[in-house]
Amino acid sequence: MKNTLRIYSQILQLRGDAIHELLQSEHGIAFALKLFLIVSLIAGLGVWGGLPEALRTPTMVERFDKVVADVGEVVATVVAAVESAAATVQGRIERAVETASTEFERRFSNVLNQLNAIFDRFASPRARLAQLLTQRVVSVREIEEVVVTAQPTPAEMNQLLMRSGASEAEVQRLLRLAGITADQITQVRAAEQAAADAAIAELQPILDALSMTSSEFQEVLDQISATPEQVAQWLERLSTTPEQVGALLSRITATPDKLKELVATARAEVERMAPPLGERPARVIRLGGQWLASPLHYANGWMLFALVLLLAAKSIGGRATLPQHLGAMALSGAPAVLFIVAYVPDLSSVASLPMASAVHTTGRILALIGVVWCGVLLLKTLSVAHGFGMWKSVGAVLLALFGMYAAAPLAAVLASLFLVG
C-alpha cells in the first residue's frame, strides 16, 4: 500500500523515470489500468451526494396519500367555513378575515421578507425566472428585472405576460427587452391553444360522464392551476385512458363509501406500479449502479480519442506499442480524483441555496484543475511512451483533435456527396 501511494505520488509529480518504468513491463501496464479503475471509482463517489435527495423525496404512494389528505383537508375546511358563515352575523366574517390577515402579516412578514431577500441574493437569473413562472400573478417590474439576464423563451415570456396584466405598450417594451417579437408570442399562443383543444378532445369521454362543458372543465382546471395536457399526462402515467375513466365515472354513485372505495382502488394501483423492493431502495441501488459504472462513463469519452491519438503519434515517429499507449492514457487520468465533487448532483432540494451553490462552484473549480492536470500529465506520459519530446506530444494531440473534429467529418461529407452524386 505504501509503495502504491509512492508510485501514485510520483505520477502526479510527472516523474518521467517512474512512468517509464511502469510502461516497460506488463505488470506496470496492469498497474496503470488498475490505478485508472480505482481513481475513477473514487471520483464516482460524488454520485452518492444524491443519496439524501433519494431518501427524502416522497414515493409515489406517499405523494398519492398527501394529495388525498390535502383534498380531505380542503373539503373539511370548506364545510367548516360554510357552517361558520351560516352561523355568523353579518360583518363577523369580514372582521375575522381582517384579524387573521393582520395576525399573519405581523408574525410572518419578516420571515417572508428575509427568505425573499436570500433568494434574490443567491438565485441565478434562470432560477429567478423559474420562481416567477410558479407565481399566479407577476408584476411588470419583476418581468423587467429578469428578462434581460435570464433570456426567456417565447413560451416562458408568454406565460409571464399572461400573468402580468400589462398594457399593450408595456407588452411591446417587455418584448423588446427580451428580444422576442410579437409574431413569436402569437405563434406560441396558437400552439398552446391547439394543444389545449386537442387535450380537451381527448378528455371528452370524462366530460360526457360528468355532464360538463369544456368551459366548465377549464374553470375547474384554472382553480387547481392545471392544464388539459397535464390531466392527459396524469391519466397516461396511471396506465388508463379517458374512455376508461369516463366509463368508471358513469357507474359511480357519489357516496362517501364509493369515494373511499375509489381512492383505495387507485392507491392499490399506485402501489402495484412501485418496484418490488420499494422506491427508495431502488433509488439507492440505482445510485450504486451509477457509481460502479463511473469508470466506463469516464473511459467512454477517451477510448476513441486514445485510438486516434495512437495513429497520430505513430505518424510522427512514435514507438509505443498498443498496451504501452493505453497504459500511458490510463496513467494520465491519475488526477481525476479531483472530479469527485463535480459528480455531486444539484443539492438545492436538500441543502440551503448558499451551500448548494458553494458545492457546485467548488466542484467546477476542482474539475477545471483536474482537467488541466490530466492534460499536462497526458503530454508527459505520451512523451515517455512514444520516446519523443513534449512538443511532439502537443503536436500528436493537436493532430488527433484535428482528425476527429475536422478531417473525419469533412471526409464523411465528401463521401456522402460522392455517393449521392
Would you list the domain boundaries of the chain? 2-53+283-420
Least confident of 85-89, 234-238, 291-295, 325-329: 85-89
Kindly indicate the confidence band of residue 71, based on its pLDDT and cuts at 50, 70 and 90.
confident
Ranges 24-28, 53-57, 276-280, 368-372, most confident: 368-372
Q: What is the pLDDT of residues 156-185, one digit of tens each?
A: 777 777 777 778 887 787 777 777 888 887
Residue 235: pLDDT band with limits 50, 70, 90: low
3-state secondary structure the chain: CHHHHHHHHHHHCCCHHHHHHHHCCHHHHHHHHHHHHHHHHHHHHHHHHHHHHHHHCCCHHHHHHHHHHHHHHHHHHHHHHHHHHHHCCCCHHHHHHHHHHHHHHHHHHHHHHHHHHHHHHHCCHHHHHHHHHHCCCCCHHHHHHHHHHHCCCHHHHHHHHHHHCCCHHHHHHHHHHHCCCHHHHHHHHHHHHHHHHHHHHHCHHHHHHHCCCHHHHHHHHHHCCCCHHHHHHHHHHCCCCHHHHHHHHHHCCCCHHHHHHHHHHHHHHHHHHCCCCCHHHHHHHHHHHHHHCHHHHHHHHHHHHHHHHHHHHHHCCCCCCHHHHHHHHHHHCHHHHHHCCCCCCCCCCCCCHHHHHHHHHHHHHHHHHHHHHHHHHHHHHHHHHHCCCHHHHHHHHHHHHHHHHHHHHHHHHHHHHHHHC
Instruction: Give the residue, 134 or 24, on which the prediction is more confident.
Output: 24
pLDDT of residue 368: 93
pLDDT-derived band at 118 (thresholds 50, 70, 90) equals very low
Those residues with Cβ within 8 angstroms of residue 387's Cβ, 6 or more apart along the chain or in another chain: 318, 319, 320
The whole-number pLDDT of residue 119 equals: 46
| 121 pLDDT more than 50 | no
Residue 300: pLDDT band by 50, 70, 90 thresholds?
A: confident
pLDDT tens digit sequence for 238-287:
666 776 667 666 655 455 666 677 777 877 777 777 777 778 888 888 88
Tell me the C-alpha to C-alpha distance, in Å, between residue 322 and each of 123, 296, 407, 412, 413.
Answer: 49, 19, 23, 27, 30
Per-residue pLDDT averaged across 404-417, rounded? 73
Which range has the top average pLDDT, 27-41, 77-91, 203-217? 27-41
Q: Using CA of residue 135, residue 139, residue 140, residue 143, what is the dihedral sign?
A: negative
pLDDT of 376: 93
Quote the pLDDT of residue 358: 87
Which position has the higher pLDDT, 108 or 28? 28
How far apart are the C-alpha atoms of 329 and 321, rounded to whole Å? 12
Q: What does R_g of the chain's alpha carbons equal in angstroms? A: 31
The residues, ordered by sequence, that sit 6+ positions from 376 with a Cβ below 8 Å of its Cβ are 14
pLDDT of 87 reads 60
Asked if 41 and 294 touch (Cβ cutoff 8 Å), the reply is yes
Least confident of 10-19, 232-241, 375-384: 232-241
Please state the pTM of the whole predicted model: 0.51
The pLDDT > 70 percentage for the chain reads 78
Task: Tell me the average pLDDT across 110-138.
Answer: 61
Report the range of poorest mean pLDDT among 102-116, 144-158, 381-395: 102-116
